[in-house]
Amino acid sequence: MLYGRLDDLREQSSKRLAGSLRQTGGTHQMRSERDTSVAMYSDQLAQYSAVENGLCFGRLDFHEGERFYIGRIGLFDEDKEYEPLLMDWRAPAARPFYLATAASPDGVRRRRHMRTKQRTVVAFDDEVLDINSTEPSRNEGLTGEATLLAAVNANRTGQMSDIVATIQAEQDKIIRTELNGVVVVQGGPGTGKTAVALHRAAYLLYTHRRQLAKRGVLVVGPNATFLRYIGQVLPSLGETGVLLSTVGELYPGLNAVGRESPEAAAIKGRITMADVISHAIKDRQEAPGMIEVPFEQETLRLDRRAITEARGRARRTRRPHNEARRTFVREMISTMANQAVNKLGRHLLDADDIDEIRRELREDENVQNALARLWPTLTPQQLLSELFSSAKRLATAAPRMSKEDRALLLREPDAEWTPADVPLLDEAAELLGEDDADAKARAERQRRQAIDYAQGVLDILDLEDDADPEILMAHDLMDAYRLAERHGGENYETAAERAAADRTWTFGHIIVDEAQELSAMAWRTLMRRCPSKSMTVVGDIAQTGDIAGATSWGQVLSPYVMDRWKLTELTVNYRTPSEIMAVAADVLASVDPELVPPTSVRDSGVEPWHAQVRDLVADLPGLVAREAGEIGEGKLAVIVPAARVADLGEAITAAIPGAAVGSQSAALDARAVVLGVVDAKGLEFDAVVVVDPAGILAESPRGASDLYVALTRATQRLGVVHEGGLPGVLSRLKGASVLG
């Protein structure tokens, strides 16, 4: 019945969409109304398709005989005064599905979890919420235990799936925390932080749709692999208007994927870089001694005092550099005009002549060159590449930075931009001010040309009597205006799309995942994008791997919100079975004995293994092949020190058909993938082989956190392969079976 209703709705929206698309021409207002309905019906259609799998997953029976079905979206019976047929999981009335317990049943008699395959129910589990129930005692505190365990035991697919059917009480509380303020979700590996963050985005969009649809929601993740991994979750919850981005992608028009040493990135992440950039800009507002400017037959002389005075005036406007330049130029032109007038004889000139002289000065190439030297118009890219490619400029802009640190920042002028550069470019853009008048004029010219082009295409189509019906359809559906917009690739329909193209866009809510990895400068950029400071910050201080990353949430947040942030915690690990967690816990204790590992929700009955080999390149592929055989259709990752991704990757891909290396999207779809620790962050696999743990420990000052991350990626099986002895933190493995 529910699927029947979904089909009806789909057909209705599809007809309405076709109707709207068929209307062409009309006034600007009619066109804009039509565009709005096109966007709305397309969204509805996308949502109806997205919720097809597992449309309904739960049922609540109340003591008074009432019964609700719970699902991905709300469905209503139009013929019976919109009586609810299916309740959206985010609606307040659906809450007992996640929270009710035998001790506090909230009127619920029975809770049913249903599993469906396509449109057929394949299993269901009932919980009778009666404290005196004679049912066998269940794992205390878990909601829908059987369905939950089926979900956590299932093979992984290389794509994260939603958890909407089995959200646990501690997770539900965080998902539904109020919109305003900063909420920190701290939790160990596998506690569902990422899942909770994404469901919270869906919940907030449902509950505060009006407020958030306009400004959009931004989800920030650590790298492109991770974003691809989580990319399907929100669409499967029927939400498409969320922008997923790495910090490196936050500067429109730039995809910063260049590489640099972690030390250089850490320096760029320090908050003091904000001062360095501000200094670097001031250094470009030069006041040399006397400069001479040839103008027509005369030589004009600008002395230091005149320049400093004009500079002072321009700075006192407190406008960004490129905007304040107007004041500087006006002052300098006025000084030069005075000199020129005096030389020509003031008594011979009237006001119009003097204006003419000013105009000529502005247009004179020598004058322009002199002004460009004294106060150049700068783009953020130009400022930074000229700063980082000059030891001298760096020394003046960062006098308090050590020589060694400055040396680490030096690079070629045309070097690729790195993720750590993005917050610096953003800072520079703020202080320089956009000088985008030219860019806007260019864009408008291009748009006009595209419209003319599109009009031409449509005119030609009109002339052809026997034109292909498909093309005619295109003609019916699209007028010149829409075609032009598509042609220019600027047909942004959602807030998220518009936001991605605009550096100064501010979001209604920002969710930061793996937030412990962000540098102080990256936080500064994100805080600028969210003036309301409505944020969800998700991470695990114990997993911090980046040396620019955080060691405490207070330290990160207090500069922006003082102590007005709320800490919430997740304590149950749904990913890693207890046998593996015991090994990981020893490593965690070596990071900080005070840190408590999360409790595994299940045992797997499989002990982790280790193998000492003589030569990794020769012996590892055989062990990996054996492990791949153990997990059948599941996914396997081989996690190695960054320095060994290339050689061990080659050995494994040569020996195992279908294996892949690195974090490109195809690699995640492979059955076996070789990854460095950084790229494995946030991901999970059925089996994990951690290679050369001593190498991982030695590779970074945060080596122990990296090893902890590597060990906790497995959902079923873990093996450790090493050449030398086992590091002390893994001595628990000594009792385990030894392969190889």
Annotated binding site for ATP: 187-194
Q: Which amino acid is at 351?
A: A
Nearer to ligand ATP, 534 or 712 (CB): 712
CB of 193 to ligand ATP, least distance (A): 3
Strands 108-117 and 56-62: antiparallel
Structure tokens at 650: 């080659």
* Measured CA angle at 557 (ends 555, 561), to 5 deg: 130
Q: Do residues 699 and 676 make contact, with C-beta atoms less than 8 angstroms apart?
A: no
Of 190 and 727, the one with the shorter C-beta distance to ligand ATP is 190
> By C-beta, is 174 or 370 nearer to ligand ATP?
174
**Beta-bridge partner residues of 120:** 117
Report the nearest approach of ligand ATP to the CB of residue 578 (Å). 14
Burial class (CB in 10 A: 0-12, 13-18, 19+), 351: exposed
Q: Which residues contact 162 (CB under 8 A, 6 or more apart)?
A: 195, 198, 199, 233, 236, 237
> What letter would DSSP give residue 542?
G
Minimum distance, C-beta of residue 668 to ligand ATP, in the bound complex (Å): 14
Q: Which is nearer to ligand ATP, 325 or 681 (CB)?
A: 681
The dihedral of CA 611, 612, 614, 616: what is its sign?
A: positive
Cα gap 183→196, rounded to integer Å: 12
**Least Å from the CB of residue 194 to ligand ATP:** 3
Residue 189 C-beta: closest distance to ligand ATP, Å: 3
d(CA 667, CA 680): 12
Nearest to 695 by CA among 644, 625, 635: 644
In contact, 660 and 625? CB cutoff 8 Å:
no
The distance of closest approach from Cβ of residue 686 to ligand ATP in the complex, given in angstroms and rounded to an integer, is 11
Nearer to ligand ATP, 189 or 380 (CB): 189
Q: How far is the CB of 560 from ligand ATP (least distance, A)?
A: 23
Token readout for 236 is 């499967």
Cβ atoms within 10 Å, residue 515:
31
> What are the helix (H) ranges across 595-644?
616-630
Q: Which residue type, as a one-letter code, is found at position 557? A: L
Distance of CA 518 to the CA centre of its chain: 12
- Rounded Cα–Cα distance for residues 73 and 91 (Å): 9
Q: Sign of the CA dihedral 371, 377, 383, 386?
A: negative
Which DSSP string do the residues of 91-159 spell out, in sequence order?
A: SGGGTHHHH--SSS-TTEEEEEEEEEETTEEEEEEEEE--TT--SPPP-TT-SSHHHHHHHHHSPP-SS
Name the residue whose CB lies closest to ligand ATP: 192
Give least dist CB 203 to ligand ATP, A. Answer: 14
Place of tokens 């060691």: 551
Q: Which lies closer to ligand ATP via its Cβ, residue 314 or residue 668?
A: 668
d(CA 313, CA 236): 57
The answer to whether residues 150 and 142 touch, using CB atoms and an 8 Å cutoff, is no
Query: Minimum distance from CB of 156 to ligand ATP (Å)?
Result: 7
3-state helix, strand, coil in the chain (%, to 5): 50, 15, 35
Q: How far is the CB of 127 from ligand ATP (least distance, A)?
A: 15
Q: How far is the CB of 23 from ligand ATP (least distance, A)?
A: 44
Q: Measured from the CB atom, is 239 or 540 closer to ligand ATP? A: 540
Nearer to ligand ATP, 621 or 634 (CB): 634
Q: Considering the complex, what minimum distance in angstroms separates the CB of residue 571 from ligand ATP?
A: 11
CB of 683 to ligand ATP, least distance (A): 8
Tell the smallest beta-carbon distance from residue 682 to ligand ATP (Å).
4
Annotated binding site: 187-194
CB of 540 within 8 A of CB of 189? yes
Cα separation, 507 vs 499, in Å, equals 8
**For residues 429 and 580, which CB has a smaller minimum distance to ligand ATP in the complex?**
580
Question: What is the 3-class SS of 33-71, one letter each residue?
Answer: HHHHHHHHHHHHHHHHHHCCCCCEEEEEEECCCCEEEEE
CB nearer to ligand ATP: pick between 195 and 522: 195
SS3 434: coil
Residues 6+ apart with CB under 8 A from 271: 520, 521, 524, 559
195/454 with CB nearer ligand ATP? 195
Return residues touching ligand ATP (CB under 6 A).
Answer: 148, 151-152, 163, 166-168, 171, 187, 189-195, 540, 543, 574-575, 682, 684, 712
Q: In Å, how far are 232, 527, 635, 665 from 158, measured between CA atoms?
A: 11, 32, 7, 9
Angle at 123 between CA 117 and CA 127, to 5 degrees: 135
For ligand ATP, give the closer residue by CB, 194 or 339.
194
Closer to ligand ATP by Cβ: residue 161 or 240 = 161
354 versus 606: smaller Cβ distance to ligand ATP: 606
Amino acid at 109: R
